[in-house]
Amino acid sequence: MSEINWEQLRSSAVAAMKTAYAPYSKFPVGVAALVSDGRIVSGCNVENASYGLGLCAECGLVSNLMATGGGRLVAILCVDGQGNYLAPCGRCRQLLFEHGGSHALLMTDDGPQTMATMLPWAFGPDDLDRNER
């Protein structure tokens, strides 16, 4: 895998954010990620009048990942409506961890951080077989 082009990921995240459907919160979010095979996937938040049914941008990103061939997330960048870095909520960190693992990188105001740092003591697929050990 070549070096991560964070500016390209930011541009893709901003482009995704501009397609967000956020009429209620007025808080559009976009996310983009580099996949292990070199492609970039993205997603945006999609709100709903029944607030609890809204989808975070990361949900769209993971759906895009699976719909375009799967793979592992290597680097992830999430932005708000002004294009500033945005940390995903806990639920979305869990989604990203599932599809990128502990070594996937998430861009923050402090620079790239591993998912292990962003979601310490994460629960993952390896934990599901604990009762069989």
Residue numbers annotated as active site? 58
Q: Is the dihedral of CA 18, 21, 24, 25 positive or negative?
A: negative
d(CA 30, CA 23): 15
End-to-end, the C-alpha distance of the chain in Å comes to 35
3 state SS of 36: coil
| 3-class secondary structure, 119 | coil
